[in-house]
């Protein structure tokens, strides 16, 4: 909150008196409830649990990937080779998610006052991009196999695909049981793609063993690629939105300003509203609030922060309180 100093200054407001139960006590209550203008919640207690889950899933996936690649070469199955290639990218993606989870637990420092929460978002974005590349590779290979069918050994393909499905289910349960974050969702997406690939390989092996139609192998590979594509696009778009400082869902600047004007008494104007996310579930905001004459600035500040937390899930907000016309209006490019 801005206050009038000894030299005075237009646009600054006098510090309200501090009677019993007034500003000082309200400020203490705000601090204890985590709603001060400079409060940051950098607690990542869930990170350690996620870190272990990602590490175990990484070793499971990477270990079986070698066996599946060998089986794909011996059996001539594109479905197995595609799934092995997918598991190779998954191992790298899980390693990236593991490193990102460790980074996200690091406390804030002088160079990064908000901490390292964005590391998980960067990992999710990278995983999404890699998945899109895997989908394109599977599609290209499948078209070549459809045009020129190759012999496939159904029995070895079935055995390896069944073992791969068991490994992928175990890895998926590890990741799906962790705390929700965009990074964990991106890692789980990779493993889910592997799981679907194993199911497709099992189905293709059964069809080949029953009918001899080896074309089932590339056709089912394309089907799995299409299933993965939708989730990969979703993860990539969501992480890119956060990296581009997009507004959290349901918390765009106009909605926040309108809500505060309706629900917080004593406001005559709310402007320069900006809201964004540091990471999954970590929304922050800044705004200017002009008060009507006679409004208690301390109470208004507490009410604004309380409303932002309860209605929009914004746990950290920097609010500039103004009594007169905002001096920044002539330089403003937005609301």
Identify whether residues 237 and 254 lie together within a single domain. Answer: no
Structural domain contains residue 8: no
Q: What CATH number is attached to the domain comprising 222?
A: 1.20.1510.10
Q: 319 in helix, strand or coil? A: strand
Q: Can you read off the two tokens belonging to residue 259?
A: 């809500």
Say yes or no: 74 and 110 in one domain: yes
Q: CB within 8 A of 267, min separation 6: which ones?
A: 260, 261, 289, 290, 291, 292, 295, 300, 304
Beta bridge partners of 283: 277, 314
- Give residue 330's pLDDT: 56
Evaluate whether 279 touches 242 at the Cβ level (below 8 Å): yes
SS3 281: coil
With respect to residue 309, please indicate whether it lies within any of the assigned structural domains.
yes
Position 38 in a domain: no
Quickly count helices (H) and strands (E) in the chain: 9, 3
d(CA 197, CA 224): 6
- Residue 326 in domain: yes
Q: Is the dihedral of CA 143, 137, 90, 69 positive or negative?
A: positive
- The pLDDT tens digits along the chain (335 residues) read 443 333 333 333 344 444 434 434 444 444 333 333 343 444 344 444 677 888 888 888 888 888 878 887 887 777 677 677 767 767 777 777 777 777 767 777 788 777 787 887 888 888 888 888 888 888 888 888 888 887 788 888 888 889 888 988 988 888 876 566 677 777 787 788 778 878 888 898 899 899 988 888 888 888 878 877 877 888 889 889 999 999 998 899 999 999 999 999 999 999 999 999 987 778 999 999 999 999 999 999 999 999 999 999 998 899 999 988 877 765 544 44
Residues 230 and 255 both lie in one domain? no
Please choose, from the candidates 181, 189, 188, the residue with its C-alpha nearest in 3D space to the C-alpha of residue 280. 181
Residues 268 and 161 in one domain: no
| 50 and 127 housed in the same domain | yes
Same domain, 265 and 118: no
Confirm whether 2 is domain-assigned.
no
Of 265, 246, 331, residue with least CA distance to 304: 265
State how far the Cα of 81 lies from the Cα of 72, in Å rounded to an integer.
Answer: 5
Q: What is the pLDDT of residue 193?
A: 77
Shared domain check, 261 and 237: no
Residue position matching structure tokens 């301390």: 298
How far, in Å, CA of 33 to CA of 201, rounded? 54
| Domain assignment of residue 320, yes or no | yes
Contact 314, 250 (CB under 8 A): no
The domain tally of the chain equals 2
The token pair at 189 is 């997406």
Query: Where among 243, 264, 284 does a domain terminate?
Result: 243
Tokens standing for residue 161: 């695909």
CB-based burial of residue 333 (10 Å sphere; 0-12 exposed, 13-18 middle, 19+ buried)? exposed
Q: What is the CATH number of the domain that holds 275?
A: 3.30.70.1350
Q: Are residues 127 and 258 in the same domain?
A: no
User: What are the structure tokens assigned to 80, written together?
Assistant: 């197995």
Last residue of a domain, one of 215, 243, 271: 243
What is the pTM for the complete model shown?
0.66
- The predicted structure's pLDDT at residue 240: 93
Give the sign of the dihedral formed by CA 247, CA 253, CA 255, CA 259: positive
Domain boundary among 219, 243, 267: 243
In a domain, 207, yes or no: yes
Q: Based on the domain organization, do 227 and 279 belong to the same domain?
A: no
Q: Looking at the domain assignment, is residue 15 inside a domain? A: no
Same domain, 78 and 209: yes
**The two three-digit tokens of residue 111, written as one number:** 């160079």
How distant, in Å, are the alpha carbons of 83, 88, 136, 213, 328 from that of 203?
Answer: 14, 22, 22, 12, 65
Same domain membership, residue 255 and residue 221: no
Whose tokens are 């007034």? That residue is 22
Q: State whether residue 251 is helix, strand or coil.
A: coil
pLDDT at 279 (0 to 100): 78
The answer on 223 and 184 residing in a single domain is yes
Q: Containing domain of residue 316, as a range? A: 23-32+247-331
CB 95 within 8 A of CB 55: no
């Amino acid at each position: 909150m801005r206050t009038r100093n000894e030299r005075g200054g237009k646009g600054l407001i006098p510090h309200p008196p501090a009677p019993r139960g007034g500003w000082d006590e309200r400020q203490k209550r705000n601090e204890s409830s985590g709603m001060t203008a400079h409060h940051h919640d950098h607690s990542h207690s869930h990170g350690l649990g996620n870190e272990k889950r990602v590490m175990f899933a990484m070793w499971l996936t990477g270990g079986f990937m070698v066996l599946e690649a060998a089986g794909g070469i011996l059996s001539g199955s594109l479905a197995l080779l595609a799934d092995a290639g997918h598991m190779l990218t998954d191992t790298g993606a899980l390693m990236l998610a593991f490193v990102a989870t460790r980074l996200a637990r690091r406390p804030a420092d002088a160079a990064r006052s908000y901490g390292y929460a964005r590391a998980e978002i960067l990992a999710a974005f990278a995983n999404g991009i890699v998945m899109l590349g895997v989908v394109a590779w599977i599609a290209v290979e499948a078209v070549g196999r459809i045009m020129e069918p190759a012999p496939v050994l159904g029995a070895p393909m079935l055995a390896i695909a069944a073992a791969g499905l068991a490994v992928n289910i175990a890895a998926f349960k590890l990741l799906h049981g962790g705390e929700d974050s965009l990074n964990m969702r991106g890692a789980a997406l990779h493993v889910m793609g592997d799981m679907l690939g194993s199911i497709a390989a099992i189905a293709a092996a059964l069809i080949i063993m029953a009918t001899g139609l080896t074309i089932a192998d590339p056709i089912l590979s394309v089907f799995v690629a299409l299933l993965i594509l939708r989730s990969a696009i979703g993860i990539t778009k969501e992480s890119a939105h956060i990296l581009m400082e997009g507004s959290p869902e349901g918390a765009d600047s106009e909605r926040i300003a309108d809500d505060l004007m309706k629900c917080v008494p004593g406001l005559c104007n709310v402007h320069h509203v900006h809201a964004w996310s540091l990471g999954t579930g970590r929304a922050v905001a800044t705004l200017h609030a002009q008060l009507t004459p006679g409004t208690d600035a301390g109470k208004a500040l507490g009410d604004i922060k309380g409303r932002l937390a309860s209605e929009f899930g914004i746990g950290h907000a920097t609010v500039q309180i103004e009594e007169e016309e905002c001096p920044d209006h002539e330089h403003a490019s937005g609301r």
